[in-house]
Amino acid sequence: MALSNSKDFELDVADYIEEAFERCGLEARTGYDLKTAKRSLNLLFADWANRGLNQWTIKQRNFTVTSGDGETDLSADVIDILSLVVRRSGTDYALSRISRDEYLSIPTKTTTGRPTQFFVDRQITPNLKLWPLPDNDTDVVIYDALTRMDDADTYVNTVDMPFRFYPCLAAGLAYYIAMKRAPERLQILKPIYEEEMNRAMDEDRDRASFRVSPDLRNYRYV
């Protein structure tokens, strides 16, 4: 049996729009059809960000601290920070995340030392606050940031996502278009989208080794 030896199947934005319209029993015939579908696609990406972790959008970034300055503006593509450490003399120290109220309740925000806590002020331009304030200019902050997906800007561009999310994207876009153009198909398309999303998110979860340790506290040797 001959094999293709090909693993480069990839759809561009126009392909996804065509697939979604076909699932709605429609055809994209006008420029407005394409425009409204592209808008739905970008709204779909925003919905995915609200649903939580998509591991392929995690970027590890770093910066060197400035003594006495505990605030840093993050890039606008950062949705959230998942974990953060301070590297000092080759050793990484994990910081605890605190809430806005907890940060505001710190009575001495000018205290300096090795930072042990951080707060993410999730504005349009996110701001990272460290406490205590750094006491040197050599520590390096390393963090895992959940970032935005690239927008669907032009129809010939491909979409920034792993292969396993292709069916989910096609199903989701079809559902979004049906809400506007084919409401009679919503009852069919919505559960398909949710099923594809759950399957993709299940595959996207972080995996770790699982070990069972027996409880020997009540065990007696004879």
pLDDT averaged per 10 residues in sequence order, the chain, 222 residues:
73 92 93 92 88 77 97 93 95 96 95 97 94 97 90 74 89 96 96 92 64 48 46
**131: number of CA atoms within 13 Å, CB side?**
20
Q: Are residues 20 and 94 in the same domain?
A: no
Same domain assignment for residues 138 and 156? no
Q: 132: cis peptide before it, omega within 30°?
A: yes
Whether residue 175 is found in the same domain as residue 195: yes
Listed residues 109, 126, 147: the one ending a domain: 147
Phi, psi of 62 (to 5 degrees): -155, 160
Q: 31-51 and 13-23 helices cross at what angle (nearest 10)?
A: 90
Pairing relation of β-strands 117-121 and 96-97? parallel
Amino acid at 94: A
Domain for residue 211, yes or no? no
